[in-house]
Amino acid sequence: MNQNVKDRFLTYVSFDTQSDSASTAVPSTEKQLKLAAYLADELKGLGLHDVEMDQYACVYAHIPASAGCTRPGLALIAHMDTAMDMSGANIKPRIVAGYDGGDIVLNHEKNIVTRVSDYPSLAQFKGQDLIVTDGTTLLGADDKAGVAEIMTLAQFLMEHPEHPHPGISILFTPDEEIGRGADHVDVKKLDAAYGYTVDGGILGEFSYENFNAAGAVVTVHGVTAHTGYSKGVLKNAILMAMEYQNLLPVYETPACTEGREGFFHLDRMEGCTETATMKYIIRDHNYGHYMERQELMKDAAQYLNRKYGEGTVEIQITESYLNMYEKIKDHQEMIDHVFTAMEKAGVTPIVDPIRGGTDGSRLSYMGLPCPNLCTGGQNGHGRHEFVSVQSMEKVVEILKYLVELYV
């Protein structure tokens, strides 16, 4: 099973592992079990210890510490599922060898082109080998690039037990893209004091802050009536739902914010005159502002209930995850070690707060401080997603240096 990181990645993206937020099953889609079983078999083939795929499709494995290392263990984590934003089935990856720096035609027939004018970061990849799609699916570098990089490190450490490293725990999770990746993780089974998710973007990106996040479901109850005789009777739930949305700050949306600026995002809306439902995500790096956003949404519901009658608008808010920084700030060595490892690999660290979350944000609050490392992937969740082979190779190199620092 000896493979390089590129070949592993191309194998993993052949598995359709798209998760489904509407499903109540665990994992949310049965197809994720196929990749989980494949990875468990691969880990066993590499000789790792205590390899297990549990009933939830979490895959665990361990690498013993190198001789003389008595430091606590280190966990490396990536997720297997892909996002719901675009299909992850029948992915047709293509390698653009020695990328020339110009636009990349993904699909001649459908005229799908990744243009430098739209994605100026492409300029820095000139001369590298890029793995792209045919424009009809996402690629899955988020996060199968992370899975491939951890697997390649595992192979190296099993072949070179003399390479200094603590006990390494490996964890691959399902359903991260729908916020459930850490729901069934057994932190005790990991047997690690520190962890890193390998689930970031461009080479050098390193994050130890993320949004505080919640989901909100707003249900609007109307009164239907024949349109010819509806005066004074009809209460159109769709129109009242639109009115609710208009009570929220116009420019505090993902399209108008960046950095640590928070937002409200109307993610889905459906309904008829009788009932309308809106699904929101609420995000803010600042916990106080995060709570204020929730109160503003509740106030908007109360206002419409006063206007149209009690019970017209119902709102249910569910917390998703909190800012990992609150749990990582007391572990400065975890941050310093990443800087050192990247510098040894000749990579410039790019510290960037995540405008989202990873399994690491949940795990940090479960007792495993867990910042997030880059994978080299770009433009995740869409048809223009790509990853540089050379970036993936560099991430493996960074991981080799990083594990040394925990001895």
Whole-angstrom Cα distance, residue 381 to residue 283? 19
Helix, strand, or coil here: 168? strand
Q: 54: which DSSP letter?
A: -
Q: Which two tokens stand for residue 57?
A: 């499709």
Whole-angstrom Cα distance, residue 185 to residue 1? 27
Whole-angstrom Cα distance, residue 96 to residue 128? 8
- Is 176 part of the annotated catalytic residue set? yes
The phi and psi torsions of 96 (rounded to 5 degrees) equal -90, 95
Tell me the β-bridge partners of 75. 169, 195
Q: Which two tokens stand for residue 374?
A: 């880059």
Instruction: Write down the catalytic residue from 81, 199, 359, 385.
Output: 81
- Is 129 part of the annotated catalytic residue set? no
Whole-angstrom Cα distance, residue 201 to residue 43? 25
- Let me know: does 243 contact 175? Beta carbons within 8 Å: no
Instruction: Write down the catalytic residue from 142, 176, 199, 359.
Output: 176
Helix, strand, or coil here: 316? strand
Whole-angstrom Cα distance, residue 141 to residue 157? 23
Active-site residues, by number, are 81, 176
